[in-house]
């Protein structure tokens, strides 16, 4: 059966990195907490889907998707994201998309990912959410068999379209969804200064009562006020992005004190003009302020990036030391929705792999050791 795969990543911009450090990052085991299934459809797959499903993509959209990397605004990105999602028409499309994602995970040594998808984007297809989940899980089983990588699901609600929220939440809390790998309820869409819609808040309250955690985006398009409001209304332990919390000292302290995990996605933030460059991105500042920071790719195919490249840039352009980067990986492991035993076992295997890789690539042991001079760790 056909499956989708992306070409090799070529846009690291990491020429200054020590080769040993770069190899360490490429080979190290990784976890991804924040990646959208619909955002793993790259330009080639988009054209393939359009051909397979006889969809006429507007040339402007193909060009926009092909340019990737810089969208300039959330609105222009959303147009490409929605048009991309609209090319998924059959259950086989969903299955093969997951297999393509798994192939990328295998290449990057991503051992585990919690993957967001947006059920209400696909409701018009006429499949039930259970049907789509079954197709996703057919792909997920194949990914586990072929690359040994584990996937769990985070269906998300959309801030600006609260109508289906309760229906999606009820499904996400169902035994079929939980047994099928659903581990949290997400929230995406454009942030605004207006309070969260009552139906959205109600949906998350019901999910919490059923034991399904909230995993909302906040502090990306919106500023600290949006993060405060989301924290108050939904009480999440993890926040997608959260980077604009940096504009409010009290909020940064609160996030650090409460050990709320931030799913930081540097390339996404630069591509959507939240920050003008990686050098001006607050990843290191948040980490230095004691926040629990993880590194993620968000919509890797649409941004022409990958989780490996995010880590390379985190060191090369954002200024993290290798120790800080390693700690961020372990923070991600501890923040997964796996059981305590599964998390502990994964952490032990990652720590052991890090030690082996440091020896293999001639790097100093962890702890006080930083990067070799000029490797990007001391900016
Ligand atoms: Zn996202």
Give the model confidence (pLDDT) of 17-32 as tens digits: 889 999 999 999 999 9
Distance 42 CA to ligand 1 centre (A): 16
pLDDT confidence tier of residue 261, bands split at 50, 70 and 90: very high
- For all residues of the chain together, what is the average pLDDT? 89
Residues 6+ apart with CB under 8 A from 330: 347, 350, 351
Q: Report if residue 368 sits inside a domain.
A: no
- How many whole angstroms from 298 Cα to the centroid of ligand 1? 5
d(CA 253, ligand 1 centre) in Å: 23
Higher pLDDT, 14 or 213: 213
Q: Is residue 230 part of a domain?
A: yes
Residue 367 lies in a domain: no
Over residues 177-227, the pLDDT tens digits come to 999 999 999 999 989 877 899 999 999 999 999 999 999 999 999 999 999
- The rounded Å distance from CA 226 to ligand 1 centre is 15
- The closest alpha carbon to 55, from 68, 45, 42, 67, belongs to 45
pLDDT cut 70: percent of the chain above it: 89
Q: What pTM, to 2 d.p., does this model score?
A: 0.91
Tokens encoding 18: 């020590």
Distance of CA 200 from the midpoint of ligand 1 (Å): 17
**Number of separate domains in the chain:** 1
**Structure tokens belonging to residue 282:** 């607050």
pLDDT for 15 equals 56
> Would you call 259 a catalytic residue per the annotation?
no
Q: Distance between CA atoms of 172 and 154, rounded to whole angstroms?
A: 9
Tell me the CA–centroid distance for residue 279 and ligand 1, in Å. Answer: 21
Percent of the chain scoring above 90 in pLDDT: 75
Q: Spot the catalytic one: 142, 191, 220, 310.
A: 220
Q: Is the pLDDT of residue 117 over 70?
A: yes
Residues 266-283: what's their mean pLDDT? 94
Q: Give a yes or no: residue 67 inside a domain.
A: yes
Query: For residue 125, is pLDDT > 50?
Result: yes
Q: Is the pLDDT of residue 165 over 70?
A: yes
Per-residue pLDDT at 379:
27
What is the whole-number distance in angstroms between the Cα of residue 299 and the centre of ligand 1?
A: 7
CATH of residue 322's domain is 3.20.20.140
Taking 60 as the threshold, does the pLDDT of residue 274 lie above it?
yes
| Per-residue pLDDT reduced to its tens digit, 66-89 | 555 567 778 888 888 888 888 899
Instruction: Determine, yes or no, domain membership for 284.
Output: yes
Residue 162 has pLDDT above 70, yes or no: yes
In a domain, residue 36? The reply is yes
SS3 content of the chain, % helix, strand, coil (to 5): 50, 10, 35
**Is 356 domain-assigned?**
yes
DSSP-assigned letter for residue 196: P
How many Å apart are CA 214 and CA 320, to the nearest integer? 29
Cα Rg, the chain, nearest whole Å: 20
In whole angstroms, what is the distance from residue 235 CA to residue 101 CA? 30
Rounding to the nearest 10 degrees, give the CA dihedral for residues 256, 262, 312, 360.
70
- Cα separations in angstroms, 227 against 4, 191, 233, 285: 36, 10, 10, 17
Tokens 């500023």 locate to: 223
Domain hosting 37: range is 19-360
13 occurs within a structural domain: no
């Amino acid at each position: 059966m056909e499956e989708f795969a992306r070409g090799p990543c070529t846009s690291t911009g990491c020429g200054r990195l020590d080769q040993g450090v770069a190899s360490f990052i490429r080979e190290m085991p990784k976890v991804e907490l924040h990646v959208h299934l619909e955002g793993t459809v790259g330009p080639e797959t988009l054209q393939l889907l359009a051909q397979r499903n006889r969809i006429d993509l507007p040339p402007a959209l193909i060009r926009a998707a092909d340019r990737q990397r810089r969208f300039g605004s959330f609105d222009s990105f959303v147009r490409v994201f929605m048009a991309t999602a609209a090319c998924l028409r059959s259950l086989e499309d969903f299955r093969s998309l997951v297999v393509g994602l798994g192939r990328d995970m295998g290449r990057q040594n991503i051992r585990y990912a919690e993957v967001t998808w947006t059920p209400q984007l696909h409701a018009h297809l006429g499949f039930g959410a259970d049907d789509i989940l079954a197709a996703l899980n057919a792909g997920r089983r194949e990914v586990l068999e072929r690359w040994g990588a584990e996937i769990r699901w985070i269906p998300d609600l959309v801030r600006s379209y609260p109508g289906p929220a309760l229906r999606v939440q009820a499904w996400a809390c169902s035994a079929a969804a939980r047994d099928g790998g659903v581990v949290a309820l997400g929230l995406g869409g454009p942030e605004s200064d207006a309070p969260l819609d009552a139906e959205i808040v109600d949906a998350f309250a019901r999910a919490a009562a059923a034991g399904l955690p909230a995993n909302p985006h906040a502090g990306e398009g919106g500023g600290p006020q949006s993060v405060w409001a989301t924290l108050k209304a939904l009480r999440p332990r993890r926040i997608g992005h959260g980077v604009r919390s940096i504009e409010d000292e009290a909020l940064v302290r609160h996030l650090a004190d409460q050990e709320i995990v931030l799913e930081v996605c540097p390339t996404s933030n630069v591509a959507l003009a939240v920050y003008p460059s990686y050098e001006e991105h607050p990843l290191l500042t948040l980490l230095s302020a004691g926040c629990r920071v993880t590194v993620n790719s968000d919509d890797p195919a649409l941004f022409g990036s990958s989780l490996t490249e995010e880590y390379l840039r985190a060191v090369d352009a954002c200024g993290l030391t290798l120790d800080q980067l390693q700690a961020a990986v372990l923070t991600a492991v501890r923040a997964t929705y796996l059981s305590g035993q599964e998390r502990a076992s994964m952490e032990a295997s990652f720590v052991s792999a890090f030690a082996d890789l440091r020896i293999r690539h001639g790097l100093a042991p962890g702890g006080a050791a930083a990067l070799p001079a000029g490797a990007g760790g001391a900016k």
